[in-house]
Chain A
Amino acid sequence: MGTLALSALKPGMRLSADVLDRNGRKLLSCGDVLTEQSLRVLKIWGVTEAQVEGPDTGDTSSSVPDEIPADLYEAALADTGHRFRHNDASLPVIKELRNLATLHLARRMTALRATGGDPLSLVRPAPVVQPDGPCPPPMEVQTLLRDDVKLGSLPSVFHKLVEVVNDSRSSATDVAEVIANDTDLVARLLRVVNSPFYGMTAKVDTISRAVTVVGSNQLVSLAMGISLVASFKGIPEHLVSMRNFWEHSIACGMAARILASYRRISNTERFFVAGILHDIGRLIMFKLMPVHSTHLFHTAYSENRIVQQCEKDIMGFTHDRLGGLLLKAWRCPVSLEKNVRYHHLPGMAPTVQEAAIMCVADVTANAFRFGSSGERLVPVLTRETWECLELPVSVLGQVVLQLDYQVAEIVRLMNVDG
């Protein structure tokens, strides 16, 4: 008997156990021979794995497809091995992530070669920028928080927002759709909505509700703030490309939302918000501490360390802590603050499972290179964090499938140009 991931199931295989959906509906029976239709049924109901007759393969991911050349697979394997160096390779979830990430990368490399591109360019790291002069001493996080931190945004988002708000036929959903795609606008919006001016008895943590509360008229002033547009222009490209930062945040938000939906947690949109905001602390670091940030990346990249783990030494605090404190200072909902604050340390969060979802989402977005907020290696995912989710590892394959489809779509629709 063996458990195979959905992607590895083929017509003709015989089931060795009943297949149920998450609500207990019996979809297929033990002894059934898989057909194209039964595979379709499994996909429809979001089933990620099934037990079939035959030897146990020990992992749930699929084997190397024929269309991937051996040299590219080897290159992808080496790259994945390097990027997962700080993770425990014996954990089933890490094995699954590594296998999936290797195949994902190898497929991208194959596609690039087919169009005449250099497949190795996908794994070749950008040169590490040498810092000028010594690193300034670390700072106190309270020093940063003392100033009313102004955040920037992507110009294209502003244009889209102004377009929507000026359209008399536009609705709150249109506004929410545009805002949901902008890290900074989400932060600013939630900050305004949760300010004492509105006197809300309950904190607002979803974008659509925020738009309903604020009203689209008020958003014009938010969107039109020229200072916002200008503020991120100062971030040097060698620290982070805003497009990459953006893509990473979207991917993390989506992965968190999908994982939350597998756990049947209600109001999954707040996970999307938390994902979009999870690295906001890093953005502030880049903006206000560019010299420190250059040293940070230089140290992390040249010593093959995880950036987050170098932050304390060089910056004086970590980006997750800064992000959490900012959201707290802006009186954002506690759940949002905690999910951002503990996305690298879910075990310390008051709601461990929610923070664990954020952690897995962040690791997934990094592992599959959906953009980047500066991290080159895959952050650490522990057994305890993964087990909090109480999901089979085969879920990850389905999450990545949806990220491949949806992140690209949002990035395309957003026309993100950096």
Chain B
Amino acid sequence: MSMDNAAHPTGTHSLEQRLRHLEEQARFTLDVLEMASTLGDFQTCINKLHEPTALLEETILRIGELVHFSASAFYLVDENSSDFALSLCSPVMFRDMLDAEVQHLIDNGVFALAVRENRPVTVYSRDNMYRLVLHVLATSSRTRGMFVGVMSKGERNLSGILMSLLSIVLKHCANAIESFELYRLFRQGDRDQYQFAESLPLPVVELSGTGEVLFANAAAETLTLKQGGTLFSRVAPRSQSAVRSWMVSCAGGEPVGEVAVELLDEQGGALAVVLHATPWRTSATDLRIRCILVPA
């Protein structure tokens, strides 16, 4: 095939050039691999965050090391409405321009294409002044948002390697956002439970495995059970052994129902209650017991 020969010059100069190019490529590859291996290390502690902005800011810094974008923005999925909302735009002055461009891309279907494609999608802005790089933020289970980078038209295009690195950074970012979101849901779930317990008219307490009161709702305080105290200090002497016995059952994972117990009131008098208890473990060593105490 004559074309093949023409395509591959064989002079010494060409071979030297090719060798230099390959050496350069090998050096670059090592750099890139090192960078790729650290791209997932977020310095932000995810389980202490209240909103993911810090993660997004860190991601923009990481991306900035790879590619020069005139502006970068993150649209995150609002889990209630499934809409994409602008969560971060840097610098802020591009905000209106990006919102308008994104609305245009939503209307012409390119945004939906970028949501489906798990790689960068490059389009030109409406005024043809910029190139917009769209990349979905998606984990294996869910789409979390969209990254939009703005490049001036004169800026050189992204190489295949940079595109892949961008995908890696954004994949890590999506995973971090998902972790954050799951932690937030855990915390929210926890808060919701205690708020619900707080609102109940019946006394509800949560005990540690040693009987320390970890939580007591308002109704429980009428039984003199308060957070920070211990259950045993409020149990009448003749009920102590019964309480110890059901706590042992709970430690074995067995719920306990309909146990008649006498508590002491503030004056030292007896308050008869019927106790229902359910154990649960936050870890192998941490036992919690949730109790409802119904006045007899």
Contacts and interface: CB of A to CB of B under 8 A. Distances in A.
Interface of A: 22-23, 25-28, 37, 40-41, 43-46, 148, 167, 169-174, 177, 188, 191-192, 195, 197, 208, 212, 214-215, 217-218, 221-222, 225, 258, 261-262, 264, 268, 398, 401-402, 404-406, 409, 413
A382 B103 CA distance: 36
B4 interface: yes
A192 B8 CA distance: 10
A195 B7 CA distance: 11
B161 to A, nearest CB: 9
Closest 4 A/B residue pairs (Cβ) = A46-B112, A171-B159, A402-B109, A405-B108
Nearest to A268: B117
Given A45-B82, A188-B3, A221-B6, A258 B160 contact: no
Given A170-B156, A401-B108, 19 more contacts: A41-B81, A41-B82, A44-B112, A148-B1, A172-B160, A188-B3, A191-B3, A195-B1, A197-B4, A218-B8, A222-B3, A261-B113, A261-B116, A262-B116, A268-B117, A398-B109, A398-B112, A409-B124, A413-B124
B239 interface: no
Given A27-B82, A41-B83, A174-B157, A197 B8 contact: yes
A217 B84 CA distance: 43
B86 interface: no
**Most chain A beta-carbon contacts within 10 A, residue among B18, B103, B117:** B117
Nearest to A403: B109
A218 B111 contact: no
Contacts of A225: 3, 6
A40 to B, nearest CB: 6
B106 interface: yes
B109 A401 contact: yes
B152 to A, nearest CB: 14
B110 interface: yes
Interface string B107-138: 11111110111000001100000000000000
Contacts of B256: none
Nearest to B163: A173
A173 B157 contact: yes
B142 interface: yes
B110 A195 contact: no
A192 B82 contact: no
B158 interface: yes
A221 B157 contact: no
Nearest to A6: B109
Interface of B: 1-4, 6-9, 17-18, 21, 81-84, 103, 106-113, 115-117, 123-124, 142-143, 156-160, 163
A45 B109 CA distance: 9
B222 to A, nearest CB: 42
A402 B157 contact: no
B235 to A, nearest CB: 49
Contact of B142 (A25, A37, A406): A25
9 contacts: A27-B82, A44-B112, A46-B115, A167-B156, A173-B159, A212-B160, A225-B6, A261-B117, A402-B108
Contacts, number: 108
A43 B112 contact: yes
A27 B81 CA distance: 7
A26 B6 CA distance: 57
Contacts of A409: 123-124
Contact of A40 (B6, B106, B117): B106
Nearest to B106: A43
Contact of A402 (B17, B82, B113, B115): B113
Nearest to A211: B160
Nearest to A263: B116
Contacts of B142: 23, 25
Nearest to B25: A215
A168 to B, nearest CB: 10
B111 A43 contact: yes
Contact of B83 (A40, A172, A404): A40
Contact of B7 (A41, A177, A222): A222
B285 to A, nearest CB: 38
B104 to A, nearest CB: 9
A197 B7 CA distance: 10
Nearest to A219: B7
Nearest to B104: A405
Contact of B109 (A46, A169, A174): A46
A417 B54 CA distance: 50
A43 B110 contact: no
A220 B207 CA distance: 77
Nearest to B159: A171
A44 B110 contact: no
A43 B1 CA distance: 50
A178 to B, nearest CB: 10
Contacts of A26: 82
Contacts of A37: 81, 83
A44 B1 contact: no
A46 B116 contact: yes
A357 B8 CA distance: 36
B160 A44 contact: no
B171 to A, nearest CB: 15
**Most chain A beta-carbon contacts within 10 A, residue among B9, B158, B160:** B160
